[in-house]
């Protein structure tokens, strides 16, 4: 039995998220179906580095699978891709160490959220269009309050399997690319809906309806304000998964240009 590391990109618009669930199409489910057909085996599983929400995209999601096969790496890559829908693509297949685990071995995840300041005909599925004037300076002042090891309980929904609600955010910043604003956040891991709620909070700060001090207060008590401000999934991308801290890149790039 050999272990393989897969790097996957996908447009999440049509899917209920990474993880398989009843009543919805998932990225994991599509990859599993493709692998079962390629390797002609039913008992196989694919483990992802993170569970992206419904409608969220990925540039470099990482997964691993165990399988007995004599196929070379390129044949595995092309064989899976030939059996996947066009909005999911395996961009790399590597032989992995037997103990490698896509989720447990990850030391950080990088997400970007794209906000458009104008209506766009081509990027609608990949941005959140905000009509209001936004202060990037205020957004960045708010984003600074996310950095560090903090309890993000107000930025997620209660889930029994989620465990601790503390996460360490290493980087949080908003950069301008013409009519596009990109919120880039890197952290140890992220809770369900956390990045979308962080985005909603900084957008509301950019509108002037919240102050940076308000954002700081969200870590001191219990409030449902971040939940009410949850950003839509369309603009969110899992950008990269890191397995060594020395590889972390604090560089923001947009996915689409407006």
Catalytic residues: 53
Phi–psi pair at 113, nearest 5 degrees: -125, 125
Q: What is d(CA 250, CA 77) in angstroms, rounded to the nearest whole number?
A: 29
Task: Count the Cβ atoms, other than its own, within 10 Å of residue 212.
Answer: 17
Residue with the two structure tokens 């001090």? 213
Q: Kindly provide the residue ranges of all beta strands, DSSP E only, lying in the chain, ordered along the sequence.
A: 2-10, 46-48, 57-67, 88-96, 108-116, 128-129, 148-151, 166-177, 180-187, 236-242
Q: Is 24 helix (H, G, I), strand (E, B) or coil?
A: strand
Distant-in-sequence, close-in-space partners of 138: CB < 8 Å, separation ≥ 6: 205, 206, 208, 212
Q: What is d(CA 230, CA 12) in angstroms, rounded to the nearest whole number?
A: 17
Residue with the two structure tokens 């997620």? 156
């Amino acid at each position: 039995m050999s272990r393989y590391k897969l790097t996957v990109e996908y447009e999440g618009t049509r899917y209920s998220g990474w993880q398989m669930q009843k009543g919805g199409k998932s990225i994991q489910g599509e990859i599993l179906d493709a692998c079962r057909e390629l390797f002609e085996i039913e008992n196989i599983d694919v483990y992802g580095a993170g569970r992206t929400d419904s409608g969220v995209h990925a540039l470099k999601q990482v997964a691993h699978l165990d399988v007995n096969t004599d196929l070379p790496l390129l044949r595995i890559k092309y064989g899976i891709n030939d059996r996947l829908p066009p909005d999911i693509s395996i961009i790399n297949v590597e032989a992995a160490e037997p103990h490698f685990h896509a989720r447990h071995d990850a030391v950080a995840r990088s997400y970007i959220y794209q906000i458009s300041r104008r209506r766009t005909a081509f990027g609608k599925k990949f941005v959140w269009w905000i009509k209001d004037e936004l202060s990037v300076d205020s957004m960045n002042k708010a984003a600074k309050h996310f950095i560090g090891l903090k309890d993000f309980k107000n930025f997620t929904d209660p889930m029994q399997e989620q465990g601790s609600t503390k996460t360490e955010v290493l980087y949080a910043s908003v950069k301008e690319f013409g009519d596009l604003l990109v919120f880039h956040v890197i952290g140890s891991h992220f809770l369900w809906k956390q990045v979308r709620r962080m985005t909603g909070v900084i957008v509301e700060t950019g509108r002037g309806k919240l102050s940076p001090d308000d954002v700081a207060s969200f870590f001191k008590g219990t409030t449902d304000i971040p939940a009410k401000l949850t950003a839509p999934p369309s603009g969110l991308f899992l950008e990269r998964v890191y397995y060594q801290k020395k590889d972390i890149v604090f560089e923001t790039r947009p996915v689409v240009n407006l």
